[in-house]
């Protein structure tokens, strides 16, 4: 099985490449290194079944593969808002290029969509049948609407060209190899707590998210790719819901930090509540996240502790 992972040098992509190699795949990892790092896959470079290609998905790529995990896209609000036009191009042109590749070579494509397609959800928890509440012209829309049109493209290539698609909507996922200066809440809080700096909670901290440990997610991604009965969309995430205030207190406790919590302005269109309904994934994939937040945060804290000792990371 020859498998292409776009965005393979990123946080989730690098864990996925690792698991696919362990499953016996030949893995072609494609990345433009915007938010991904060679160091995330450096330990795989010696494996004869692993190949790393610097490429931007906005440009077509001609390779022979059986499967494509399409993850290429910055995922943190800080990074996807850095160059919003590029984020839209990555989602639209990048997804067209990868679907076109799959059409030519007859490969199956799994698209990494997001809970952001639900926007600031008026339904709670979110099921796949909910169409969402997205501001089409806001600061987050380059990502939200980009991912929505990427889903549209997947389904149109499926209906029009019989491309074999799988679409998953990933909810907040965390773990080792997030960037220390990534801007996402788990890495921000852990890095601040380890440095004894204030943890900055945006808004009053009452907004909620449901955090999934990366190993649980990678297992579900493989399960979704390997099953033949459902194209999706399927929610993937951990339904345990926490306020951002609770997360801050937990990180401070687990790090044993003297950091304080301070409050900053809430960014535009920040979703108020988010929790996946994973009934479909449970039934289809016989899957359940097994890592609770304390365990997952513990492993993430260990990773950043080592990183901060060896790296000069500026946040």
How far is Cα 60 from Cα 97, in angstroms, rounded to an integer? Answer: 5
Which tokens hold the place of 60? 């077509």
Under the binding rule (CB under 6 A), the answer on residue 114 touching ligand NAD is yes
Nearest 10 degrees: Cα torsion 217, 49, 1, 59: 80
Other C-beta atoms within 10 Å of 220: how many? 23
Residue whose C-alpha is closest to residue 151's, from 91, 237, 214: 91
Map residue 132 onto helix, strand or coil. Answer: coil
Q: Which is nearer to ligand UDP, 4 or 190 (CB)?
A: 190
| Total of chain residues touching ligand NAD, rule CB under 6 A | 28
Under the binding rule (CB under 6 A), the answer on residue 93 touching ligand NAD is no
| Total of chain residues touching ligand UDP, rule CB under 6 A | 14
Helix, strand, coil tally for the chain in percent (to 5)? 40, 20, 40
Q: Which of 18, 31, 120, 145 binds ligand NAD (CB under 6 A)?
A: 31
Tell me the residue ranges of DSSP E strands in 145-297.
164-170, 173-174, 199-202, 208-210, 212-213, 234-236, 241-243, 261-264
**Considering the complex, what minimum distance in angstroms separates the CB of residue 186 from ligand NAD?**
9
90 binds, among ligand UDP, ligand NAD, none (CB under 5 to 8 A by kind): ligand NAD
According to CB under 6 A, which residues from 164 to 193 bind ligand NAD? Answer: 170, 172-173
**Considering the complex, what minimum distance in angstroms separates the CB of residue 311 from ligand UDP?**
20
Under the binding rule (CB under 6 A), the answer on residue 94 touching ligand NAD is yes
* Residue 114 bridge partners (DSSP): 170
Chain contacts with ligand UDP (rule: CB under 6 A): 76-77, 172, 184-185, 188, 200-202, 207, 209, 244, 267, 270
Chain contacts with ligand NAD (rule: CB under 6 A): 6-7, 9-13, 31-36, 56-58, 71-75, 90, 94, 112, 114, 170, 172-173
């Amino acid at each position: 099985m020859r498998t292409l992972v776009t965005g393979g040098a990123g946080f989730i992509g690098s864990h996925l490449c690792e698991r696919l190699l362990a499953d016996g795949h030949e893995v072609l990892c494609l990345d433009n290194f915007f938010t991904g790092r060679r160091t995330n896959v450096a330990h795989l470079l010696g494996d004869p079944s692993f190949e790393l290609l610097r490429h931007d998905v906005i440009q077509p790529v001609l390779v022979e593969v059986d499967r494509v995990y399409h993850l290429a896209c910055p995922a943190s609000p800080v990074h996807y808002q850095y160059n919003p036009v590029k984020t839209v191009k990555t989602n639209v042109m990048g997804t067209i290029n990868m679907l076109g590749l799959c059409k030519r070579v007859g490969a199956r494509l799994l698209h990494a969509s997001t809970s952001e397609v639900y926007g600031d959800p008026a339904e709670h928890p979110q099921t796949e049948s909910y169409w969402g509440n997205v501001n089409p012209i806001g600061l987050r829309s380059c990502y939200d609407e980009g991912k929505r049109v990427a889903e549209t493209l997947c389904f149109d290539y499926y209906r029009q060209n019989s491309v074999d698609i799988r679409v998953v909507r990933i909810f907040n996922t965390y773990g080792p190899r997030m960037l220390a200066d990534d801007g996402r809440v788990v890495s921000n809080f852990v890095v601040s707590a380890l440095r004894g700096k204030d943890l900055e909670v945006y808004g009053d901290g009452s907004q909620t998210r449901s955090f999934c440990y990366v190993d649980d997610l990678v297992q579900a991604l493989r399960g979704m790719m390997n099953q033949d009965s459902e194209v999706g969309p399927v929610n993937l995430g951990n339904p345990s819901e926490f306020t951002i205030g609770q997360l801050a207190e937990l990180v401070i406790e687990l790090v044993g930090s003297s950091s304080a919590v301070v409050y900053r302005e809430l960014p535009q269109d920040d979703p108020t509540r988010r929790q996946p309904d994973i009934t479909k994934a449970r039934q289809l994939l016989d899957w359940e996240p097994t890592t609770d937040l304390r365990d997952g945060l513990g492993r993430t804290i260990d990773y950043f502790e080592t990183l901060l000792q060896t790296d000069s990371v500026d946040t």
